[in-house]
Structure 1
Amino acid sequence: MMNDKRISLAPMIDYTTSDFRYFARLFNPKIYLYTEMISTSAILKGDTDYVLRFNDTEHPVVLQLGGSDPSKMAQCTKIADEYGYDEININVGCPSDKVQHNKIGACLMKEPALVAKMVQAMQNETDKPITVKHRIGIDDMDSYEFMRDFVACVSQAGCTHFIAHARTAWLQGLSPKQNREIPPLRYEDVYRLKQEFPHLFIEINGGIDSLDAIKTHLQYVDGVMVGRAFYHNPMLMSECNKLWGLNTPSQRQILEQLYPYLQQRVSQGANLGTLTRHFLGIFQGLTGARKWRQDLSGKKNLTVAEIQKSANHILEQNNL
C-alpha cells in the first residue's frame, strides 16, 4: 500500500523539537519528521547551530522555513543544505498574528507569485526537494478555485509537493488554536486537488487522528500529515508501521531506547523536568497514564532513574 505514499509528523511550534523528533523516530522508521517552523531571522541573526542541529537518527527530517524574502529564504536553504536536511518546506499555512506581521504563513496564499519566486530561489541553492504547506483558503478567499490557482502558480516554479491543511485560515478573529478547530474540514477539496494535478504529490493535513482515517485518506492522496494526534498519542506512530508491514514497537521497547538518550541529554546540561513534557503521551489511554504525567510534570530535579521507576510501575499495571 505504501509504494509512493508517505506519512509525516506535522511541524508544530514548541512541540516538534529535536528531542521530540528523536522520541518520535523510536516509534516508526518511515515517518517524515518536520521541525518547528524556523524563521529566516532565527537562522540568519540568531544561534544558527542551536536552531538547525538535529540527531542523525531523525532522518528523514524536513526543515520548515518561515519567511517571505526570496533571497533570505535562499540563504537559509543553503545553510540548511549543509546541515543535511532531507527536504525544506515553506510555511504558507500558519495563521497567527505574529507571523502575519512578518509576512509569514497563510497570508502568503494571497501572493502565489512571491511564493513561486521563493521556490525558485531556494531550488538554486539545493538539490533537495522544496515543498509548500498551505491552507485550502484564507478568510473569504476560500473557494476551491482559489487554492487550485495558488497551487497551479507555485507548481510552475518547479514545486511538485504540496501539503494542504484542509481548513480555511481566518487571519482575523481566530487564534491559531481556534483555526485548527472552528473552520470546517473540507477533505474533498484536497482530494479534488490531486485529481486535477495527478502529476503533483499531494499530502493532506488536519484533524486526522486514527490509523483508519490515515488509510482512508491514502486512497485519495499521496500522503497524510498528522500533528497533535501523533504528539499526544505517539503509539499511533507505532501503529502506522502496519502500513509498511513492519513490527509495532511496544512502550517498553521504546523506553529502553529512550533512557540512554536522556542520560546523554543530562550530560549535555538539559533539564529533564522541562524535556520530559514531550514524552507524556506514551501511556495515553492506559491505566496509570495520569500518574505518569504527574510524576514527570513540573519537577525541577527529575532523574532518569525516577522516570524509569515511574514507567516500570505503569508497565506492570498494564502487563506490558
Structure 2
Amino acid sequence: MTASGQFPSASMPDPAALRLSVAPMMDWTDTHCRVFHRLLAPHARLYTEMVHANAVIHGDRSRLLAMDPVEHPVALQLGGSEPALLAQAAAIGAAHGFDEINLNCGCPSDRVQAGRFGACLMREPALVADSVAAMIAALADAPHAVPVTVKCRLGVDDDHDYGRFRGFVDTVADAGCRIFVVHARNAWLKGLSPKENREVPPLRYDWAWRLKRERPALRVIVNGGIAAAAEARAHLDHADGAMLGRAAYHDPYLLHSLDRAWFDGAEPLPRVDLLRALRPYAEAQLARGVALKHITRHVLGLFNNRPGGRRFRQILSERAHRPGADWRVVEEALAAAAGPRRAAA
C-alpha cells in the first residue's frame, strides 16, 4: 500500500460485474451446472470447482477445464501453494479463455491441509503474496485482461484479530490482488468437517464491511450464509458484491430472481421457460454421449418449496440415470411440477 493509502494500479472489472456471483463448489459447479446458472443469471460471475495447479499442468485439461462459451464471464479457481506452479496453471487457464484466476485460501478440508493450501494459507500471507505476484506476472502477456483474485476466510481456528485479517489482505494486495472474496467466517482446521466449517463458525459480515470501508480501493465480495434475497441485497450497501453458495444450487430460482432485480429491474421469468431454455444444450451433450443425469442433477432445486417440487425431483432422480434417458424425462418432471393447469410460475 502506498503512503496515500491506495494500492498500486491494476486492471479491474466493471464494478457491476462483481455484484452477483456463484461460489466455487466442489462436485457441483462443473460446466453443466454453470451453463444452467448462466441461463438463470446472465450477469452473474461464475466460478469453477477448485482445481489444483498440478492437475491443470499434468491432468486431463479437456475434462478439468471444460467450459462452454456461454458461461462467460467465468473464473477458474486454483488450489496450490507453489508460486511457480500456480503461475504456470494460471497461464494455462487464461489460454483456455477463463476471465479470472482465483486462488483458494479458504477450503478447510484435511486433504487440502495436507497439501499446504486452502485455508491454512491464511497463516502464510507472504507466500500468498508471492503466489499472486507470480500469477500476475504469468498473465501479463495474456490476450485479454485476466485479474488474479483471492477467496479467503477471516482467519483460522481461534484467530479473532481483525488486524491480522486486514494485514493478510494488505500483504496480498501489495502484490497486485485487487479483488477479495471473503467467506465471512473463520475456518477450523481441526475438529470440524468441511460441512461444519460452512455452518458452525459464526458469521462476521462486519469484518468484510469494515475492510471495504478501510480499503475502498479494493473490491470486496461477501460470501457465507446468504440464503435469501434480502440478505444478499443488504451486502450491496456495504461491499461490492454478494456471492451465493449452496443457496444458488439448492434454490436456483433465487439466483435468477436476484439477477433480474439487480440488473434488469424485471420480474423473474417462469421456471418452466427457464428449464426449457436448457434443452438445446442438454440434447447436444446427449448426442456427445453425456448421460442425462450429469445435467439434470444441477436443476433439482428449481421448484424448491413449490407445489410439485418434490415430484419433480423424484422423477429426475429416478429416471435420468437410466440408459437412453433423454429430454422426455425432463418434460415428464415439468408436467408433474406444473400440475393440471401447467402453471408457469
Report TM bin, short chain: over 0.9
One-letter amino acid of the counterpart of residue 97, structure 1:
D
Separation in 1 of the partners of 2:305 and 2:161?
39
Offset from partner CA, 1:42-73 (integer Å, 9 cap, x none): 11121012111201100110000000000000
1:158 corresponding residue in structure 2: 176
Separation in 1 of the partners of 2:162 and 2:322?
50
**Using a 3 Å threshold, how does the CA distance of structure 1 residues 95 and 287 change in structure 2: closer, same or farther?**
same
Aligned-residue offset at 1:319: 1.5
Aligned residues of 2:31 and 2:68 also touching (Cα < 8 A):
yes
Are residues 1:308 and 2:331 paired?
Answer: yes
Aligned residues of 1:91 and 1:105 also touching (Cα < 8 A):
yes
Are residues 1:244 and 2:263 paired?
Answer: yes
Identical counterparts, % of pairs: 43
Aligned residues of 1:4 and 1:222 also touching (Cα < 8 A):
no
Aligned residues of 2:83 and 2:134 also touching (Cα < 8 A):
yes
2:308 corresponding residue in structure 1: 288
SS in 2 for 1:279: coil
One-letter amino acid of the counterpart of residue 319, structure 1:
A
**Using a 3 Å threshold, how does the CA distance of structure 1 residues 184 and 120 change in structure 2: closer, same or farther?**
same
Separation in 1 of the partners of 2:45 and 2:209?
21
Separation in 2 of the partners of 1:129 and 1:4?
13
Separation in 1 of the partners of 2:182 and 2:333?
40
**Is the deviation greater in 71-80 or in 121-130?**
121-130
Offset from partner CA, 1:162-199 (integer Å, 9 cap, x none): 01101100000000000000000001111111111111
2:107 corresponding residue in structure 1: 94
**Residue of structure 2 aligned with 1:141, choices 122, 140, 159:** 159
Aligned-residue offset at 1:303: 2.0
One-letter amino acid of the counterpart of residue 278, structure 1:
H
Offset from partner CA, 1:54-113 (integer Å, 9 cap, x none): 011001100000000000000011111111111010000000000110111000011000
1:193 corresponding residue in structure 2: 211
SS in 2 for 1:128: coil
Aligned residues of 2:279 and 2:327 also touching (Cα < 8 A):
yes
1:253 corresponding residue in structure 2: 273
2:64 corresponding residue in structure 1: 51
2:282 corresponding residue in structure 1: 262
One-letter amino acid of the counterpart of residue 57, structure 1:
V
**Is the deviation greater in 15-24 or in 142-151?**
142-151
**Using a 3 Å threshold, how does the CA distance of structure 1 residues 5 and 97 change in structure 2: closer, same or farther?**
closer
Aligned-residue offset at 1:5: 5.1
**Using a 3 Å threshold, how does the CA distance of structure 1 residues 21 and 5 change in structure 2: closer, same or farther?**
closer
**Using a 3 Å threshold, how does the CA distance of structure 1 residues 55 and 287 change in structure 2: closer, same or farther?**
same
Separation in 2 of the partners of 1:124 and 1:103?
23
**Using a 3 Å threshold, how does the CA distance of structure 1 residues 6 and 139 change in structure 2: closer, same or farther?**
same
2:9 corresponding residue in structure 1: none
One-letter amino acid of the counterpart of residue 109, structure 2:
S
Aligned residues of 2:308 and 2:339 also touching (Cα < 8 A):
no
Gaps of 5+ in 2: 1-14, 140-144
TM-score between both structures, scaled by the size of structure 2:
0.90
Offset from partner CA, 1:97-140 (integer Å, 9 cap, x none): 00110111000011000000111110112141000000001012
Offset from partner CA, 1:241-264 (integer Å, 9 cap, x none): 111124322212212211121111
TM-score between both structures, scaled by the size of structure 1:
0.96
One-letter amino acid of the counterpart of residue 7, structure 1:
L
Separation in 2 of the partners of 1:208 and 1:267?
37
One-letter amino acid of the counterpart of residue 299, structure 2:
F
Gaps of 5+ in 1: none
Aligned residues of 1:119 and 1:159 also touching (Cα < 8 A):
yes
Aligned-residue offset at 1:142: 2.7
One-letter amino acid of the counterpart of residue 172, structure 2:
V
**Residue of structure 1 aligned with 2:245, choices 208, 212, 227:** 227
2:8 corresponding residue in structure 1: none
Separation in 2 of the partners of 1:286 and 1:113?
49
Offset from partner CA, 1:258-283 (integer Å, 9 cap, x none): 11211111111111134321110111
**Is the deviation greater in 18-27 or in 125-134?**
125-134
Separation in 2 of the partners of 1:5 and 1:88?
14
SS in 2 for 1:13: coil
Separation in 2 of the partners of 1:142 and 1:55?
41
Aligned-residue offset at 1:313: 2.9
